[in-house]
Structure 1
Amino acid sequence: MDVASRSRSRVEERLTRLEEEFGTPEVTQTTFEVGEQRYQRSLERSRDGQLDVRAVVRDDDGAVLVREGDGEWVVPRGQTRPDERLGEAVRRIVRDAADVDCRVTDAVSANIHGIRNEDDESASTVYRLSVVFTAEIVDSSEPSGESVRWDAEAEAISELV
C-alpha cells in the first residue's frame, strides 16, 4: 500500500472513531501544496496516526479561551498522541495550554487535508485530519500564564464553529 492509501486509510479510521465518540461532524476536504520540509513533517505525523485538534472552550459567561500563538490569539490546538482517545487529547491540549480542565461537548467540524509536495510532483498526496471540538470549562478557575485569557469578543472563533 502506498503513502496516499495508508494515510487516507488512517484518516478514515480516525473519522470512524470520531463518529463513535461524538457523532458525525461536518466534513470538508482541502488539498494544498507545501514545501519539502512541511511535507515530510506531515508524512511523519500521518505515519503516527496523529490528527490536528482545535478546542473552542467556553466559560460560564460564553467567553472563549484563547492563547497567544504565532503573534495572534488562537484557541488551544495540538496533535493527538498515538492511540489516544479524542476526548482525552482535547482535555490534555487545553490543560497544557491553559492549566484548566474542560468537558468536551461536541466535534463540530472535520477537515481532511490532502497535502502535496510542491517540490516533487511525483510524491504521493499525504492525508491528514483536523477536527474542531467545543468544550466547557469544568471549574471556574482562571487560566494560568500571561499568554492565556478569556475573550468575550473572539470573533475569529465563529469561523471554526
Structure 2
Amino acid sequence: MDVASRSRSRVEERLTRLEEEFGPPEVTQTTFEVGSERYQRALEKSQDGQLDVRAVVRDDDGAVLLREGDGEWMVPHGQTEPDERLSAAVKRIVRDAADVDCTVTDAVSANIHGIRNSDDEAASTVYRLSVVFTAEVVDTDEPDGDEVRWDANPDAVGEFV
C-alpha cells in the first residue's frame, strides 16, 4: 500500500471513530500544494495517524476561549496522540493551552486535507484530517497568563464554527 492509500485509510479510520463518538460531522475536502519541507512534515504526521484538532470552548456566558499564538488570537489547537480518544485529545489540548478543564459537546466539522508536494509531481498525495470540536468550560476560573482570554465577540471564532 502506498503513502496516499495508507494516509487516506487512516483518515477514513479516524472519521469512523469520530462518527462513533460524536455522530457524523459535516465533512469537506481541500487539496493544496506545499514545498518539500512542509510535505515531509505532513507525511510524518500522517504516518503517526495524528489528527489536527481545534476546540471552540465557551464559558457560561457564551464567551470563547482564545490563546495568543504567532501574533494572533486563536482557539486552542493541537494534534492527537496515537490511539488517543478524540474527546480525551480535545480536553488535553485545552488543558495544555489554557489550563482550563472542559467537556466536549460535539464535533462540528471535519476537513480532509490532500497535501501535494509542489517540488515533486510524482510524490503521492498525503491526506490529513482536521476537526473542529465544541466544548464547554467545566470551571469558571479565569485562565492563567496574559496569552489566554475569554472573548464575547462572535466574530472571534467565525471561521471555525
Please indicate the TM-score interval, normalised by the length of the shorter structure. over 0.9
Partner of 1:2: 2
By how many angstroms is 1:145 displaced?
1.2
Partner of 2:142: 142
Q: What is the alpha-carbon distance in structure 2 between the residues aligned to residue 87 and residue 7 of structure 1?
A: 22
Counterpart residue identity of residue 147, structure 2: S
Q: What is the alpha-carbon distance in structure 1 between the residues aligned to residue 80 and residue 145 of structure 2?
A: 23
**1:16-31 alignment, distance < 5 Å:** 16-31=16-31
What is the total number of aligned residue pairs between the two structures?
Answer: 161
With structure 2 as the length reference, what TM-score do the two structures score?
0.99
With structure 1 as the length reference, what TM-score do the two structures score?
0.99
Q: What is the alpha-carbon distance in structure 2 between the residues aligned to residue 100 and residue 156 of structure 1?
A: 19
Q: Secondary structure at the match of 2:158?
A: helix
By how many angstroms is 1:156 displaced?
3.8
Once the two structures are aligned, what percentage of the paired residues are identical? 83
Unaligned runs of 5+ in 1: none
Superposed CA RMSD: 0.7
Q: What is the alpha-carbon distance in structure 2 between the residues aligned to residue 154 and residue 41 of structure 1?
A: 33
By how many angstroms is 1:154 displaced?
4.4
The runs of at least 4 aligned residues of structure 1 exceeding 4 Å deviation read none
By how many angstroms is 1:155 displaced?
0.6
By how many angstroms is 1:158 displaced?
2.1
Q: C-alpha deviations, 1:33-63, integer Å up to 9, x for none?
A: 0011110000000000001000000000000
Q: What is the alpha-carbon distance in structure 2 between the residues aligned to residue 77 and residue 34 of structure 1?
A: 21
